Structure 1
Amino acid sequence: MSLRARFALAFALVSAVVAGLVGVLSYHAVADRTTQANDTTLTAATTALAAGQTGVLGSADPPAGDGDDGGGGPPRGGGGRPDDPARFQMLVGRRIAPDGTVTVLGGRPVVLPVTDAARALAGAPVAGRTDTTEVTGGRDDYRVLTTSLGGGTGALQVAMDVDLSNRLVQGMANEITVVSLIVLVVAAAAGWLLAGRITRRLVRLTGLAEQVSARGGVGGPDVEALEAPVEGHDEVGRLSASFTTMVERLASSREAQDRLVQDAAHELRTPLTSLRTNASVLRRFAELPPEARERLVTDVQGETRELSHLVDELVDLALSGHSAEPEEPVALAPLARRMADRAARRSGREIVVDADDSVVRGYRAALERGVGNLLENATKFDHGSGAPIELRVRRGTMTVRDHGPGIPPADADRVFDRFYRADDARGLPGSGLGLAIVRDVAERHGGAAFVTTPSGGGACVGFGVAPDRLVVASAPDEVEAQAAPEPS
């Protein structure tokens, strides 16, 4: 069953239940009021008869629209001819003796049965006891009130034709039933129309989602065609906006994936070509002089090392932003010192750390990778100055300064691109992915990577996190204790 049909059915059921409850309550209220009015009339007539006023049993005025049983006419009993006066007599007055003998006091000439309860009241020693019941006399229904006279002297019995009242109440019940059915149909139709308006946007979103699933992804011109128009600020409107954002991110992810694959394939060709060439030379390894053999082995080892490093960085870059690593408060000072010690051991360079007590909410492994790549980049390019490399941490921003040749202004905007290497860096080891990973780490933390040229030469390369990721370290020692152990 479709969502629209469910909505329409729900509207119809709710409306039917409400209409039914209102109808039932209205019916019982009218029936109770009618019964109370009839009982009041019977009580008043009994009081009058006890006082000897038999005139209350006289003919009633003909109701408006006098005629036959249709159109709200008078009761069916009391004669059969339209000119019969008893036709409009509504009451019957009788006196019941203890032995069940009936004495008619007036009113409509109709024979009503004497019940056991009426005989018991006729012989009751106490006056004022009553019994109310409904009986059928002829073609009409009568409501009968029997009142004991006390001392075993009999009872007064007054009966009232309630056939018209019953028919009116039954007619009301029929009308309530018809109205309830009409309400049910109208509610179902209104629910169908309203559900169509409510679910229209959901149906459109469902169709777009099915298109994305059928195509296996999005990309290129598909993005604009799959954008869901945002209408309103309700839950469906927010869902439309989220769906559009999701499609755009899927498209961006697909484009980034394609670009990464293309760039990786391009970068992998160079070491693979070199290794293929060296493999051909290895067929004549025994014929080569010792110096050529040494160069060949050194070249193969270097190309293999560069290829392994390239694969590692490709994996890091591909998994950037998709790790299941949880967010946690990270103290940057101990992290910076730990990464500086590691880089100093690997490169043999002196690294000076100047860090404040910044604590950020982020991903520890990603931040370590970003700082490590900054230091590795600095040690690679600053290879002859003799000055120490400086790592500075201030309010969530990590900056590494070297004293090497610096970065030309023309390359400053491109050093964070994947596989980009300046002309003077093409002879150095590396894949051109280190600073690209730094940029991804910064963006994952809501910040950005940057390059500046300080006075005195060299370069300052770093990245920062978003200001809202800075936290107050209420217990710095505890935060430092959470830091990952120093890898060997």
Structure 2
Amino acid sequence: MNLRSKFAIAFAGVGAAAAILVGVFSYQAASERIDAELDRSLLTTSAEVAAGATQVLAPSPVTRGPDDDHDEAQPMVAQAIAPGGTVRPLGGRRVRLPVGDPDRALAATGALGDHRYTDFTAGRDDYRVITVALGPGRGAVELGIDVDESRHVLKGLAARITGVSALVLAVAALAGWLLARQITRRLVRLTDVTEQVSDGRLDDVAVPTGGRDEVGRLATSFDRMLGRLADARADQDRLVQDAAHELRTPLTSLRTNASVLRRFGELSPQARARLLDDVDGESRELTHLVDELVELATRRYEAEEPAPVALGELAESAAERVRRRSGRAITVEADASALTGQAKALERAVANLLENAVKFAPEGPIEVVVRGGRVEVLDRGPGIGDDDAARVFDRFHRADGARGLPGSGLGLAIVREIAQAHGGSVFAEPRPGGGAVVGFTVGADLLLPNSHPGHVDG
């Protein structure tokens, strides 16, 4: 059963339950009201009959009742009960009302006005009977009235309540179906979209957005999610294509060297040494490229738990590693900026910036400046052209002057990913006097309070 049918059935059930409850309570209230009025009428009429006004027992002009009973013209019957228990008819229908022991007790010892009600059936006719005491030793008057008219009114009321309940049920079902159709229309369209996405379609799928209710918010959120999913798949496709392109060069070189190794015995010692160095270098480049590809594709740095991080100490640690590896002079100038972030990932970002500076600026000092959540690496290399400044952080991008240099072209792309994961951005710009300034920022909301300016030299 679909959601629309469930809504329709639920609305119909609620409407029917409400109509039935209202009908039952209305019927009970009407029945109690009619019975109360009938009892009061009987009490009043019995007093008139006791006073001798027996004309109220005479036939009325009506000759046929609702049940086609010829006695409806004369609906009442009365009789007197002597203190000794004998019964004498007073008029009305020719029906003998039953006299029980409580009735004889009222006739014999009952105080003036004491009375009791009973119900009595004779043939097809139902009677409401009252027995009223006339005083001690004076007997009692017993008066009965045919209640078929009242029962007929109640039956008609029950029939009308049933009809109204059925009408309410039908209207509620129709209203529920229409309302469910209106509510579920966008859900049905959204379900169609999700089925298309499950079949692998992402680019040409239109999500029906609109509205401020929960369905509208769901559609908007799904549209954003679908957009991010499409972007992620596009990035994945570009990464695979770029990786295939970058892997092709070292693999081709390795295959070439492997073919030369078949003639290893024919080579001179110098040629053998160069060949082995070339194979070793290509293998290390290939290993480095694969490691960075895996890190970039799996975003392993995102699994690290955030913790308080002092950017100055982190920059000094990264600078010390690059100093040992390259032998270059690297100075660190930092304030006491600290943030809640992933220490290993941020240190990797600073190290990548330093390795990039070492590669492109083979001479001259390298500086690291940390101020207010901004990390800058400054060198005196050839600088960055305007065309390359906008693309230097793209995956596998290399400037024209860097084609022959080692590297995977992924180091700065990883820096951008880490910076964005910390709510910041990256930048690359020329340095006054020559060289380049490359770095990243972190989100201001991640910076810890009470940071004070400081200085760390490496």
Shorter-chain TM-score above 0.5: yes
Contact 1:77–1:138 (CA under 8 A) maintained in structure 2:
no
Mean Cα deviation higher: 187-196 or 19-28: 187-196
The number of residue pairs the alignment matches comes to 452
Structure 1 residues 411-450: aligned runs within 5 Å: 411-450=388-427
Mean Cα deviation higher: 405-414 or 342-351: 342-351
Residue matched to 2:125: 140
Deviation at 1:330, TM superposition (A): 4.0
Instruction: Pick closer, same or farther for the CA change 1:214–1:178 going to 2, 3 Å.
Output: same
Contact 1:27–1:173 (CA under 8 A) maintained in structure 2:
yes
CA distance in 2, matches of 1:436, 1:254: 17
CA distance in 2, matches of 1:8, 1:453: 69
Residue matched to 2:333: 354
CA distance in 2, matches of 1:285, 1:342: 38
Deviation at 1:3, TM superposition (A): 0.7
Q: Kindly provide the amino acid, as one letter, of the partner of residue 57 in structure 1.
A: V
* Percent identical residues: 55
Deviations 1:458-486 (A, max 9, x none): 21111123334444369xxxxxxxxxxxx
Residue matched to 2:103: 118
Deviation at 1:99, TM superposition (A): 5.2
Contact 2:31–2:154 (CA under 8 A) maintained in structure 1:
yes
- 2:130 is the alignment partner of 1:151: no
Deviation at 1:232, TM superposition (A): 1.1
Q: TM-score, normalised by structure 1?
A: 0.85
CA distance in 2, matches of 1:247, 1:46: 85
- RMSD between aligned alpha carbons? 2.6
- 2:162 is the alignment partner of 1:177: yes
Instruction: Pick closer, same or farther for the CA change 1:151–1:337 going to 2, 3 Å.
Output: farther
Within the candidate set 196, 200, 209, 1:211 is matched to 196
- 2:262 is the alignment partner of 1:283: yes
Mean Cα deviation higher: 358-367 or 288-297: 358-367
Instruction: Pick closer, same or farther for the CA change 1:328–1:171 going to 2, 3 Å.
Output: farther
Secondary structure in 1 matching 2:395? coil
Instruction: Pick closer, same or farther for the CA change 1:416–1:131 going to 2, 3 Å.
Output: same
Structure 1 residues 348-427: aligned runs within 5 Å: 348-385=327-364, 387=365, 389-427=366-404
Residue matched to 1:300: 279
Deviations 1:33-86 (A, max 9, x none): 111111111222233344x14257344765xxx56445xxxx75564xxxxxxx
Q: TM-score, normalised by structure 2?
A: 0.90
Residue matched to 1:333: 312
Deviation at 1:185, TM superposition (A): 1.6
Q: Kindly provide the amino acid, as one letter, of the partner of residue 96 in structure 2.
A: V
CA distance in 2, matches of 1:468, 1:61: 95
Secondary structure in 1 matching 2:391? coil
- 2:239 is the alignment partner of 1:257: no
Contact 1:4–1:199 (CA under 8 A) maintained in structure 2:
yes
CA distance in 1, matches of 2:88, 2:343: 108
CA distance in 2, matches of 1:120, 1:9: 59
CA distance in 1, matches of 2:85, 2:317: 116
Q: Kindly provide the amino acid, as one letter, of the partner of residue 269 in structure 2.
A: P
Contact 1:321–1:444 (CA under 8 A) maintained in structure 2:
no
- 2:151 is the alignment partner of 1:166: yes
Contact 2:301–2:342 (CA under 8 A) maintained in structure 1:
no
CA distance in 1, matches of 2:306, 2:8: 46
* Structure 1: runs of 5 or more not aligned: 80-86, 475-488
Contact 2:118–2:128 (CA under 8 A) maintained in structure 1:
yes
Residue matched to 2:206: 227
Q: Kindly provide the amino acid, as one letter, of the partner of residue 416 in structure 1.
A: F
Deviations 1:258-288 (A, max 9, x none): 1111111111111111111111222222332
Instruction: Pick closer, same or farther for the CA change 1:68–1:46 going to 2, 3 Å.
Output: closer
Instruction: Pick closer, same or farther for the CA change 1:366–1:120 going to 2, 3 Å.
Output: farther
Residue matched to 1:57: 56
Deviation at 1:11, TM superposition (A): 0.7
